[in-house]
Structure 1
Amino acid sequence: MYFFGLLCMLGLFSACSDDDKVEPIGTEFDGVYKGTLDVDLDGTKVGADLPQKVYVTKVGDNQIKMELKNFSFGAMALGNISVDKCNVEKQGDNACKFDGEQKLSLPVVGDCDVVMSGTITGEKLEMVINVKATQEGAAINVKVDFTGTKLAADQSSEAKITEFTFDSKEVVSQPVIDGTSITFMVTDTIKAEELAALVPTIKISDKATITPASGVAQDFSKPVTYTVTSEDGIVTTTYTVAVAGKVLQYSLDEWLDKGTGKAAYKTPSPDDKWATSTAGASLLALLGYTGEFPVVPTDDAVKGTAAKLITVYTADVSMAPALTSGSLYTGRFAIDFSNQLNSTKFGIMCDKKPLFFNGYYKYTPGELFLDGSVKDKIVEHPELTDECSIKGVLYEVSSESETLTGVDISGSKKIVAIAQLADGSAKSEYTPFSLEFKYLEGKTYDATKLYKLALICSSSAKGDTFNGAAGSTLFVDELEVVFE
């Protein structure tokens, strides 16, 4: 009887122990639950029905990891909020309840205690997250209520514009994406109706959507706003697309024939915009000059054709200076035998504010620097090295006929802004330059006034005083001016 009673007690004890065991979970609760959440800050609702996803992952027999990824509301981006080990208790075949807590360090909030609790029933997740922190001695309590449904597969939260292009000859620089700002350049001759009807082709994150749609014309005479929404509808990114500036381009690929016989030469097109010192040097050919003209086209270019500027020795030609530098400039040439510097008429009319003078150049200085300011007393300066000059000059005029010349282009009070190449030394390979127009003290651009813009390239920086080195050679190509 004693042994029989003992066996019964052991059987009863074993049965009770089996009933008390916690049933381990499988991966049936794992997955991504998409839904909405409400946010309460110290008793005040600060967000309602915010789209969000919660990730559930089994990490133990009776533990799951609960995580909200990239959580934010309003202007507050809190990043990932997670409890790595929540205790789980099954509530039937496909249900459970869970709870857990963890210390986290979150952006904006700082160090905090996070407590999660909730239930999963079938495909539905309901949970409450409490975040407690202290800032400047004051307690902060954030409560988040989430309700969501399990997804068959995760959906992308990426909402980006990956490419933005135009198929238009009026767009000279394709859009550049910088964060949520997209800018592009157009020709300075684009018409208002063309700018108002540009059609972009836009590529975005996989399965995301965009408004306005790609391939639909928009009025880019003012900034246009695009909104990209991720596949899961949780992330939206707003982009602003705008014209960064208008560009006046001169490729120097086309050259025109001028003069006849010994005075025949080539000049860059359009010849109502560009002039060169060759226009004057060609006249010297009639006086016996047989050397190379100071400005000629060349296939040694960044693209197509470039301009080759050479400082030539002309001291042995009557009525000529000791040195003639290669000069390419916007404006015109009108010979003035009494004052050679007055022959160069710098500048073309300009009705927009210039920002940058851009292009490419390379340069080789000549061997011997000469001071030819006094033709019959040329002085050699072997200690000096010639330099090139590239600059842009914006100056004010009272009429279209007014112009600055080689006499006063360097010091006139009419000058408003200058863009100047700082390094005129040797460059063996084509080198890009971008020169910012810097406005002189007290000077600004006024759209109600008249201006001329002079772009000036010279193979000898002091060529206007007939100083330089014979043989100094400057190549320039793909010139452009960026306007506001």
Structure 2
Amino acid sequence: MKTKLMYLFSMFCMLSLFTACSDDDKGGPIGTEFDGVYKGTLDVDLDGTKVGENLPQKVYVTKVGDNQIKMELKNFSFGAMALGNISVDKCNVEKQSDDVCKFDGEQKLTLPIVGDCDVVMNGTIAGEKLDMVINVKATQSGAAITVKVDFKGTKLATDQSSEAKITEFTFDSKEVVSQPEIDGTNITFMVTDTIKAEELAALVPTIKISDKATITPASGVAQDFSKPVTYTVTSEDGITTTTYTVSVAGKMQKYSLDEWVDKGTGKAAYKTPFPDDKLATSSAGASYLALFGYTDEFPVVPTEDAVKGMAAKLTTKNTSDISLAPAITSGSLYTGRFAVDPFNQLNSTKFGIMCDKKPLLFNGYYKYTPGELFLDGSDKKNIVEHPELTDECSIKGVLYEVANESETLTGLNIGDSEKIVAVASLADGTAKAEYTPFSLEFNFLDGKTYDSTKLYKLALIFSSSSKGDTFQGAPGSTLYIDELEVVFE
């Protein structure tokens, strides 16, 4: 009980600095010579035991009458309690000389939790010095509590700021893919999933803080962010200190789709997004079909119609007139590789790249326009029109377990393999006229979890026709995607 009361009464004694003094006048009129801001410290004793020492504080003194002053504390906080502006508009004073006055008084206060308190206060202002003693008596649970507060302060030439905030925290590093976000006193940021331990341990932040405040550690000094780093900001007047914790929120795999790589030659020339060792498209298959008469635009091409920089445009094609081609070829982009199998097109898509971290979210932007006429080309010899159906796009993330790096799922089993551990899937594949953000959570299948001792591959799959794997869709259906990222634990 005493420990709790020590905190409460320490806070209370701050308040008691500003209790109204006696109504009895004690001297002649005063001028504005006592007006100003007095910066000093508090010592607090509870029943003879010191519970606070050299606690920084400011008192604002303003003349409001011939023998009255206003005493005010601005933006006051004590411990975790923010109490705002606290003031007593009128305190009676007795002038002793041109630059000396005395004040004393007593008052009853009622505070939440603490209850009724008797306050006796006396002190002096002499020249540039403010010196006061406050004695507080209270009873709680039948026990009498006595608190004594000593304040000593010196008038400042001009007021000093009490603000202690970090206003901006940034890194100039390609390994930081999401600049720090300030949420109260917590600051978090994202790094690449390929960042090296030594790089994370040597990141250099640039920090902006409140005017004339100071910060420790300093801005521009490398810190080891493999673990949370604590920064302390101290206001210009030294009254306020704010402690921030800066940490990595997670790792991110990012594909901006701004860079594209030339592949093939002659009629078979096409572009694939960078990094081409991780990303593949159905244009690789169309490039092969170009040798057999395919002349249309490839199913996946770069475009300047983007959220930022460049984007990928995926279009479903009618390839029924091309030998060795399915009737419908959807525009598809995925992590993995393409290895042509002329006898089984679905086996040509090798989905997934090695993944050694638990995926949490799959984010990005997309817009979509379905083609005019939905076709069922599952039987190339008997293509069926379905004017009553409307095509939809597909965006999906699939985490699956492998026995070794060479094992892979293909278009034949990416949808139903027992190897699949978690899936993130876009629920709404309908038309979107403008770029729309998506954020898909990886949901782990029943009874399955991420095990860091096992091997996994991660497949990110985009298709302009959600049933493209069964050669169904509407020619002309167009999916735009941009600024893709996967957030890892």
Give the aligned residue type for 1:230.
S
1:54 aligns with 2:53: no
Q: Quick one: distance in 2 between partners of 1:343 and 1:219?
A: 45
Matching residue of 1:380: 385
Question: What one-letter code is carried by the residue in structure 1 that aligns with 2:412?
Answer: V
- How do 1:282-297 residues align onto structure 2 when only pairs under 5 Å count? 282-297=287-302
| Mapping of residues 162-311 of structure 1, within 5 Å | 162-311=167-316
1:440 pairs, out of 437, 445, 454, with 445
User: C-alpha distance in 1, partners of 2:474/2:110?
Assistant: 68
Aligned residue among 289, 308, 317 for 2:322: 317
Aligned equivalent of 1:404, options 404, 409, 414? 409
Residue 329 of structure 1 deviates from its aligned partner by 0.4
| Distance in 2 of aligned mates of 1:140 and 1:458 | 74
Q: 1:72 to 1:259 in 2, by over 3 A?
A: closer
Deviations 1:428-455 (A, max 9, x none): 2222323232222332222221111111
Secondary structure, in 3 states, of the residue corresponding to 1:461? coil
Letter matched to residue 303 of structure 2 = T
Query: 2:461: which partner in 1?
Result: 456
For residues 335-361 of structure 1, the C-alpha deviation after alignment (integer angstroms, 9 at most, x for no partner) is: 234432222110011122222222222
Deviation at 1:75, TM superposition (A): 4.1
Q: Work out the CA distance in 1 between the residues paired with 2:188 and 2:42.
A: 36
Alpha carbons of 1:364 and 1:94: their partners in 2 closer, same or farther (altered >3 Å)?
same
Contact 1:78/1:107 (8 A) holds in 2: no
TM (norm. structure 1) is: 0.88
Letter in structure 2 aligned against 1:164 = F
2:358 counterpart letter in structure 1: K
In the other structure, the counterpart of 2:346 is: 341
Cα drift, residue 471 of structure 1: 0.6
| Alpha-carbon distance, 1:251 to partner | 2.2
Describe the SS at the equivalent of 2:170. Answer: strand
Q: CA deviation at 1:175?
A: 1.8
- Alpha-carbon offset, residue 146 of structure 1: 1.3
TM-score normalised by length of structure 2: 0.87
Equivalent in 108, 111, 125 of residue 130 of structure 2: 125
Residues 105 and 255 of structure 1, relative CA distance in 2, 3 Å threshold: farther
- Compute the displacement of 1:331 (Å): 0.7
For residue 93 of structure 1, the aligned residue among 92, 98, 110 is 98
Q: Offset of 1:46 from its aligned partner?
A: 2.7
Q: Is the 8 A contact 2:46 2:147 kept in 1?
A: yes
1:303 shift after superposition = 2.9
Residue 310 of structure 1 deviates from its aligned partner by 0.3
Amino acid at match of 1:386: D
Q: How many corresponding residue pairs? A: 465
Q: Could you tell me how far 1:139 is from its partner in structure 2? A: 7.7
Who is 1:356 aligned against? Answer: 361
Question: How far, CA to CA, are the matches of 1:303 and 1:274 in structure 2?
Answer: 19
Query: 2:116 & 2:298 partners in 1: Cα distance?
Result: 76
Q: CA shift at 1:21, angstroms?
A: 9.2
Q: Aligned partners of 1:259 and 1:125: how far apart in 2?
A: 84
Name the CA shift for 1:107/1:457 in 2 (closer, same or farther; >3 Å). farther
Give how far 1:369 is off.
2.1
Give 2:7's aligned residue.
Answer: none
Further displaced range: 22-31 or 249-258: 249-258
* Structure 1: gaps of 5 or more residues: 1-19
Alignment CA distance shift 1:104-1:80 (3 Å): farther
Cα distance between partner residues in 1 of 2:232 and 2:286: 60
Cα distance in 2 for partners of 1:460, 1:47 equals 70
Bigger radius of gyration, 1 or 2? 1
- Corresponding residue for residue 11 of structure 1: none
The residue identity in structure 2 corresponding to 1:453 is L
Partner residue of 1:366? 371
- Between the aligned partners of 2:285 and 2:71, the Cα distance in structure 1 is 82
Bigger mean CA offset, 81-90 vs 451-460: 81-90
Tell me the distance in 2 between the aligned counterparts of 1:275 and 1:347.
Answer: 10
Give per-residue Cα distances to partners, 1:268-288, cap 9 Å, x unaligned: 233221111122222333333
What is the distance in 1 between the residues matched to 2:463 and 2:236? 57
What is the aligned partner in structure 2 of residue 153 from structure 1? 158
Shift of 1:464: 1.3
Instruction: Tell me the distance in 2 between the aligned counterparts of 1:172 and 1:299.
Output: 22
Code of the residue aligned with 1:219 in structure 2: it is: D
